[in-house]
Each structure stands twice: as C-alpha cells, then as structure tokens.
Structure 1
Amino acid sequence: MAYKLLSYQAGDEIVAGILVNGLVYPATEALADARYHSMIHILEDWSTLRPRLAAFAASTTGTGVPLEDITLAAPIPRPPAIYCAGANYKDHVENMARILKLEREADPHETGFKPWHFIKSSACVTATGTTVAAESEKLDWEAELALVVGTRARHLNLDNALSCIAAVTCANDFSARDYLQREQADFRSPFKYDWIGQKSFDGSCPLGPWLTPVEDVDDIQSLPISLWVNDVLKQNSTTANMIFTAAEQIAQLSSRLTLHPGDVILTGTPAGTGAESGEFLKRGDTVRIRIGGLGELVNTVG
C-alpha cells in the first residue's frame, strides 16, 4: 500500500503523520516511537524508517483520522535550507529570451555552464490552503517540483545523486517581480538584484500538500507539471523539459556544500509564468498546482 507523509495541526503543535488510504495516523503511533513527532526527525533517520513506514502502510493498525478532518501544515514547516534552480526549463528560457530580445542560448552542457541556484528563507514556507499576502504589484507564480533530502550528502555524482533524496512534493516559487532589482544600482554591480524582496517574502514558498516517497515515483524526469490561476491553465509542461536534471542539480549543489536531511531543492519552473505575459496575481486569485500524482497545492492571494 502506497503512503504519503504529511504534517498537520494537533492543538497548538504541528506533528508528523502518515497518510494511508485516505486516513491519517500520527507518525509516533505508526512508528511506535515518541521521537518521531516532527518531519525533520523522520527525515534524519530516513534510511532506518523507510522500511518501517512501508510495513505500517501495508498493514495499518490503530484508528486513523479522515484526511478531510485535519488541517494540513507545510510537510516540512521549517526546512534547514531551500535551494532554488534558476532558468532550468527549456520552454521558459526560450520564451524569456524572445520577450527580452536576447539571442537563444546554447545548450549549457555544450558551453560548460553548470546548474545555478539561489536560496529562499526557510521562514517563507507555507502550507496548501493558506493565503499569501499580496504586497507586490507584480506577484508571479512558478510551479516547481521539489526534492526533499533524506541523507546527509557531499560530493555526489550523476550515478548516485538521487540516493540522497527521500521524497518529492509540489512547490510554488512565488516571486515579486517589482522587487527584482535595485534600480539605482549600476547594471554591472553584483549588488543590483534584490533576492530577499523578490523571493523570500512571507508565504513565498508554499510546499505540499504532502511528501511522496521517491521510490513511489516511476521517473521524476517525466512528470506532467501544471498550474492554474482561477481555473485558467497557465503552465502546462513536463519535467522532461528541465535543462539540468534533478541528478545534475544535486551533484552540483553537493560539490559546493553539504546537503542535510530536510533540505528542499526546487528544480525550476516551466513556461507560462506571469513575467512572460505581463499578467500578475491580484487579491482574491487562487493558484493550483499539480505535478504527476503528488497531490494538489492550492493557495489564495490576499
């Protein structure tokens, strides 16, 4: 029996749970161990707990709570780090080059370019079903596949890169395009871009609705990825359109730093963002994301 991992409100606390056949069981009950009350604690012991979670899902015991009766939190309420890939879908890069009247870039594999990432604050994570404050006149959407690290890792290669990934989920890399850069700074300045204002405002990283173990995903490089604004389809692509695969991104990141359990890697967004059309989100808009069978991530702009 397949299962999902999630976090949910239990009184004043956020606790980890396992979702099996529409019912949610506390992780502490499923694992018969009070240490595993949070998702981070589960991910820190992922190699040990993975078979135990699968065994519980195959023969659930105890009384589960219907999914519709719980309030979901972000599956990892405060990740240790969030790494975000920039310009990593062929269709998105081609659209932006056309709009900005830039020459079409060559395949970076041929020019020697490596995967490129920036960091979002872990404090900007929010759950499905929440409202994100619109403090931007150019609030943009970005559907992204998120990888969740389950094993401490350094200096991985393409052959073993995915071995450190425990699970995957949906993400929305909300972006405030009107805070893209500091206009008064010279275009040559390394201090021109405002990464905090554009990418790390409160609520700018919805994650969820839950975590799907990576072994339950046939091929993370062939997942359909779609986003709707008020039921109008805006992004409709596939993870096969990534320029750098998930493995390539992990290998590059781990060549620069140590990845830790609970770290989240956002792998880029496909064509169809607001920046491409000049259309941006307004108060009252609803954004929905679906990636393969990973569940639906829904947020409202308030």
Structure 2
Amino acid sequence: MTTPRYVLASIESEGDPVSVIVHDDTVYELPGGPSMRAVLDDWQGWTEQIESAISSGRLGRGVPVAEVRFAAPLPEPRNLYMAGANYADHAREMRGLPRDAPITPPVQGPFFFLKPTSTVVGPDSAVVLPNGIDRLDWEVELAAIIGTPARNMSEESALDCVAGYTVINDVSARDRFKREPAPEPPMTFDWFSQKGWATTCPMGPWLVPSQFCADPGALRMTLRVNDVVKQNSSTAEMIFDLKAQIAFLSRVVELLPGDVIATGTPAGVGAGDKNSRYLQPGDEMAAEVEGIGTLRNRIEREHVSAVG
C-alpha cells in the first residue's frame, strides 16, 4: 500500500464537526469549514483543490495533530451497509471447522444488514456497555466510503465509486442475537438488538483517499483489547471482496456519496471462543487496518439517570 500523501478527517469544533486535511502531522482546515458529507458530495472537485494546495504550498496555517480532537471522519453517514459472515477464517471459527477447510461462497451473494447511523462515534470516544448486556464483542472491519453515485456497477469498475477507506469496529451485543422462544422462525435472529446499540460503531481515525490504497484486498487487520491481540488476519480472507460487494449492493440500491460499506470481520471475535472474556468497563480496544490507521476506544458502563 502507498503511504498516504495526506488523509482527510473531521475534528470537533464549537459547532458541528468540520473536515480537515492531515498532512505531515499537521492539521489544516478546508476553506469554508465544510462537513465531510459536503466534501463527499463534490469529491472530485475537493480532491483537485486539495492536491493543488499541497503541491503549491497553499494549505495555510496549520496546527499539530496533538492539538485537535478527531471526530468520526464521517460523523453522519448516509447509510451503513454492514457485510456479515464475509471472512473465511471467521466462518471456520464460528462453524468449528479446521483452518484449511474450504468455504463455498453463497450463491445468493454477500449478506448485508443495516446498522443505525446514530451508532457512530469517533476515535478515543467511549463505547457504552449497556445495562443487562454481558457479551459485548469486538469486530475490526475495513470500511469503504462512497464518493460517486453508483448503480448497477460491474465488478471491474466497482472501486471507481470509492472516495476512501477508514476503520470500523462493529461492536456487537451477542446476548441479544437470538430471541428464544421466538414467535416465528424468521424472528429468531435479532440483528437490530445485536448491532443497534448507541455508540457501537466506532469509526476512524480518518479517511484515506482511495488513490493511496490500490489493493484493499491485501491489508493486514488486527484488534487488541488491553494490548492483547484478539484478531490478526487480512482482508485477503474475504469471501466476497469489496468489488463484489459494491456490485451486489449497487444492483439493489443506488450507492450515494456518504454511504459506508463495512466489509466484514475476520476470525478472533469473542463469540468464536467459548472461553473468551467479553468487553468490560475500563477495557481499551485498538482496531487497526494496515495503511489506514488505528482506531482506539474505551468501554464505559451505562449510567441511567433517575427521572423525577
């Protein structure tokens, strides 16, 4: 992977988060203080302006990275499309199969679910452990952020619509995945109650433009809890690569600037180990994707205020 010449990020401000350029460990605000959604709506135009400003030395006055607080790079995604069961090594661990067991791609294509966009939090933000949840789990994922409308894309051209990449940690409440007993068999699995809790979609630390990531299918991925490695894999383990995911999604809906595709998680989740210790208050997660960045978040216990 090419070392990024620059990345884009969102920083906390007195009002809504504003988008910035991060170049040589220095943060530069974009003219007019646009949101990242506004930048994505004119992705080509902004990319040309940024490249020109860097080449000509017209970035203006910057501040050191240490002096800002980063928000999620895209604090308000248009949609969060989450790929499930999309890594061969993860499929093997969940099915109890040998490490070399073949995994046949489903003929129906990749499996997706929607995660509420209001679950997004930024780097160094707290992930709240809800009261009554005992099996809060981690999931490092590579995420693609769409910058160009895309409909009925071929796999060959699918990556053309990607503005850039970031890291997502799809934190999951495993004790809410099944409803037992369920009123009807289709209602046995509750994806909303497993995936939809507030603060359970950390995203960051920034957006790496796609021009600096020629092959999103060959990136090392790790997740550590309190510096202990839990996940250590590669995007090469995807059952359906990003091209196939984009082509599939774009046949169902038109992908739009500001949409996010989280591409699935590899082996090493807590649910894959019956002896696993799940997340507890005070734990720190560090989700990393090679060349993209490291996303750190801590776990806090939910505090419910009394009413009346």
Name which of 91, 94, 97 aligns with 1:96: 94
SS at match of 2:57: coil
Partner of 2:298: 300
Partner of 1:31: none
Partner of 1:14: 17
Residues 3 and 54 in structure 1, CA contact (< 8 A), matched pair in contact too:
no
Following superposition, the deviation at residue 192 of structure 1 comes to 2.2
Partner of 2:144: 147
Spell out the pairing of 1:154-165 with structure 2 (5 A cutoff): 154-165=151-162
Give aligned pairs, total.
290
**Deviation per residue, 1:114-173 (Å, 9 max, x gap):** 011000000000001011111121000000000000011110011111110000011100
Name which of 207, 225, 229 aligns with 2:225: 229
Q: 1:290, 1:59 → 2: CA distance?
A: 32
Does 2:55 match 1:58? yes
Letter in 2 for 1:172: N
Partner of 2:127: 132
Does 2:124 match 1:121? no
Q: 1:66, 1:247 → 2: CA distance?
A: 36
SS at match of 1:10: coil
Letter in 2 for 1:179: R
Residues 174 and 271 in structure 2, CA contact (< 8 A), matched pair in contact too:
yes
Partner of 1:24: 27
Partner of 1:175: 172
Q: 1:199, 1:189 → 2: CA distance?
A: 20
Residues 2 and 54 in structure 1, CA contact (< 8 A), matched pair in contact too:
no
Q: What are structure 1's unaligned runs of at least 5 residues?
A: 29-33
Partner of 2:306: none
Residues 171 and 205 in structure 1, CA contact (< 8 A), matched pair in contact too:
yes
Following superposition, the deviation at residue 217 of structure 1 comes to 1.0
Partner of 1:242: 238
Q: What are structure 2's unaligned runs of at least 5 residues?
A: 301-308
Partner of 1:283: 281
Q: TM-score, normalised by structure 2?
A: 0.91
SS at match of 1:190: helix
Q: 1:3, 1:283 → 2: CA distance?
A: 35
Q: 2:112, 2:56 → 1: CA distance?
A: 41
Does 2:248 match 1:252? yes
Partner of 2:303: none
Residues 171 and 266 in structure 1, CA contact (< 8 A), matched pair in contact too:
yes
| Deviation beyond 6 Å, 4+ runs, structure 1 | none
Following superposition, the deviation at residue 95 of structure 1 comes to 0.8
Q: 2:194, 2:172 → 1: CA distance?
A: 5
Following superposition, the deviation at residue 106 of structure 1 comes to 4.5
Residues 128 and 299 in structure 1, CA contact (< 8 A), matched pair in contact too:
yes
Q: 2:19, 2:36 → 1: CA distance?
A: 5
SS at match of 1:233: strand
| Coordinate RMSD, CA, aligned | 1.6
Following superposition, the deviation at residue 183 of structure 1 comes to 1.2
SS at match of 2:96: helix
Residues 128 and 200 in structure 2, CA contact (< 8 A), matched pair in contact too:
no
Residues 150 and 166 in structure 1, CA contact (< 8 A), matched pair in contact too:
yes
Residues 284 and 300 in structure 1, CA contact (< 8 A), matched pair in contact too:
yes
Following superposition, the deviation at residue 105 of structure 1 comes to 7.0
Q: 1:84, 1:242 → 2: CA distance?
A: 13
Q: TM-score, normalised by structure 1?
A: 0.92
**Deviation per residue, 1:62-90 (Å, 9 max, x gap):** 11011110011010001010000011111
Q: 2:48, 2:158 → 1: CA distance?
A: 21
Q: 2:199, 2:102 → 1: CA distance?
A: 33
Residues 2 and 57 in structure 1, CA contact (< 8 A), matched pair in contact too:
no
Partner of 1:216: 212
**Deviation per residue, 1:255-293 (Å, 9 max, x gap):** 000111010000000000000113211111100011112
Q: 1:26, 1:299 → 2: CA distance?
A: 25
Partner of 2:72: 74
Residues 115 and 195 in structure 2, CA contact (< 8 A), matched pair in contact too:
yes
Letter in 2 for 1:207: M
Q: 2:54, 2:145 → 1: CA distance?
A: 20
